[in-house]
């Protein structure tokens, strides 16, 4: 494939890249070379310039660093829009899951319907009043599908950015409020019961029937925390091999146009082992 790497290492808690930059950590682990060795043609566009976070929780929406999140979402949407004509596979290195809204906004603004394959340990379906931190990453799927407060849902115009029926959620162990929607969910227990191939086949078929281009969102906390240190670990999780198989089978549909990798925290990886492991997983899966 022709791949463009874009770093968007924005975290809703306001951590500056000088303190932690997961995109840079994956580059240092040799991600570009690993992809090149697998036969891909890789272009690295570097990191987006991140806005300064003010550290305040917005009074109306309840979101921490709301202005900075909106700015990085605008910048990411514009950057992706500029890439659309190239037909290159986009590999977005976050940052936290809040960047997914900017990604979806690019296709929404281009009037290009998108199917979302959401691989995560959490549903990211909290409401602002239930989020202790107030970070957008606690609720971006609710924002995308039009289930969050209107002040957030309408950030990028007409709602929803992605129709709920065009979303398939996989791997979650924390369901939050997603059960009150009609979104198609294959939680960790269900995936373990029927296996990765059957989960993919059943979960993606409605999106493939519509001939939708697919975006794969990969939050590393879907992995068992025994293998991947994360900020908000949930017991259990998929193995590294299961995640690799999941990504491979999603790409094998021939419909996947990009992937975001989020919520990796190199500061939690004292030995560098997990960083190397994640870079290898991404390259091997692709």
pLDDT tens sequence across 90-130: 999 999 999 999 999 999 999 999 999 999 999 999 988 88
Strand partners, 272: none
What was the pLDDT predicted at 150? 83
What was the pLDDT predicted at 129? 83
Residue 144 tokens, joined:
């995308």
pLDDT category at 87 given cuts 50, 70, 90 is confident
The more confidently predicted of residues 157 and 182 is 182
pLDDT tens figures, 123-172: 999 988 888 889 999 999 999 999 988 878 888 877 899 999 999 999 99
The more confidently predicted of residues 11 and 157 is 11
Contacts of 196-201 with C-beta under 8 Å, sequence gap 24+, read 196/242, 196/245, 196/246, 196/249, 197/245, 197/249, 199/170, 199/246, 200/246, 200/249, 200/250
Residue with tokens 């990453």, as numbered in its chain = 137
pLDDT(277) > 80: yes
What was the pLDDT predicted at 82? 95
Among 5, 12, 19, which Cα is nearest to 73's? 12
What was the pLDDT predicted at 26? 98
Among 126, 69, 128, 131, which Cα is nearest to 101's? 69
Backbone torsion region of residue 26, taken as left when φ is above 0, otherwise alpha when ψ lies between -120 and 50, otherwise beta: alpha
Q: Are 216 and 250 in contact (CB under 8 A)?
A: yes
Phi, psi angle pair for 69, to nearest 5°: -60, -45
Of all residues in the chain, the percent with pLDDT exceeding 90 is 86
pLDDT(232) > 90: no
What was the pLDDT predicted at 169? 98
What was the pLDDT predicted at 152? 84
pLDDT(199) > 90: yes
Radius of gyration of the chain measured on its C-alpha atoms: 17
Q: What is the mean pLDDT of residues 261-282?
A: 95
Phi, psi angle pair for 67, to nearest 5°: -60, -45
Q: Is the dihedral of CA 217, 222, 227, 228 positive or negative?
A: positive
What was the pLDDT predicted at 85? 84
What DSSP character marks residue 221?
G
Strand partners, 117: 168, 216
What's the chain's average pLDDT? 95
What was the pLDDT predicted at 149? 83
pLDDT category at 233 given cuts 50, 70, 90 is confident
What was the pLDDT predicted at 195? 97
What was the pLDDT predicted at 271? 93
State the Cα–Cα distance between residues 278 and 94, nearest whole angstrom.
13
pLDDT category at 29 given cuts 50, 70, 90 is very high
What was the pLDDT predicted at 153? 82
pLDDT(88) > 80: yes
Of all residues in the chain, the percent with pLDDT exceeding 70 is 100
Residue with tokens 């910048």, as numbered in its chain = 75
């Amino acid at each position: 494939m022709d791949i463009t790497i874009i770093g968007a290492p924005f975290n809703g808690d306001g951590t500056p890249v000088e303190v932690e930059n997961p995109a840079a950590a994956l580059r240092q682990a040799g991600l570009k070379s690993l992809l090149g060795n697998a036969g891909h043609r890789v272009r690295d566009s570097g990191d987006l310039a991140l806005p300064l976070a003010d550290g305040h929780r917005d009074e109306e929406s309840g979101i921490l660093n709301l202005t900075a999140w909106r700015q990085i979402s605008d910048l990411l949407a514009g950057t992706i829009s500029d890439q659309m004509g190239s037909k290159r596979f986009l590999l977005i290195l976050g940052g936290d899951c809040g960047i997914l809204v900017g990604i979806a906004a690019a296709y929404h603004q281009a009037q290009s319907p998108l199917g979302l394959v959401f691989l995560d340990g959490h549903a990211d379906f909290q409401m602002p009043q239930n989020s202790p931190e107030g970070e957008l990453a606690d609720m971006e799927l609710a924002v995308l599908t039009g289930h969050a407060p209107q002040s957030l849902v309408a950030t990028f115009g007409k709602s929803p950015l992605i129709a709920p029926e065009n979303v398939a959620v996989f791997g979650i162990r924390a369901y939050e409020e997603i059960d009150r929607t009609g979104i198609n969910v294959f939680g960790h227990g269900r995936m373990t019961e029927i296996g990765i191939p059957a989960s993919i086949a059943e979960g993606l078929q409605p999106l493939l029937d519509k001939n939708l281009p697919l975006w794969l969102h990969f939050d590393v906390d879907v992995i068992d925390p025994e293998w991947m240190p994360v900020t908000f670990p949930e017991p259990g999780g998929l193995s590294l091999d299961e995640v690799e198989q999941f990504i491979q089978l999603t790409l094998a549909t021939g419909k996947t146009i990009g992937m975001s990798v989020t919520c990796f925290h190199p500061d939690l990886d004292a030995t560098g082992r997990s960083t190397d492991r994640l870079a290898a997983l991404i390259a091997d899966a692709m």
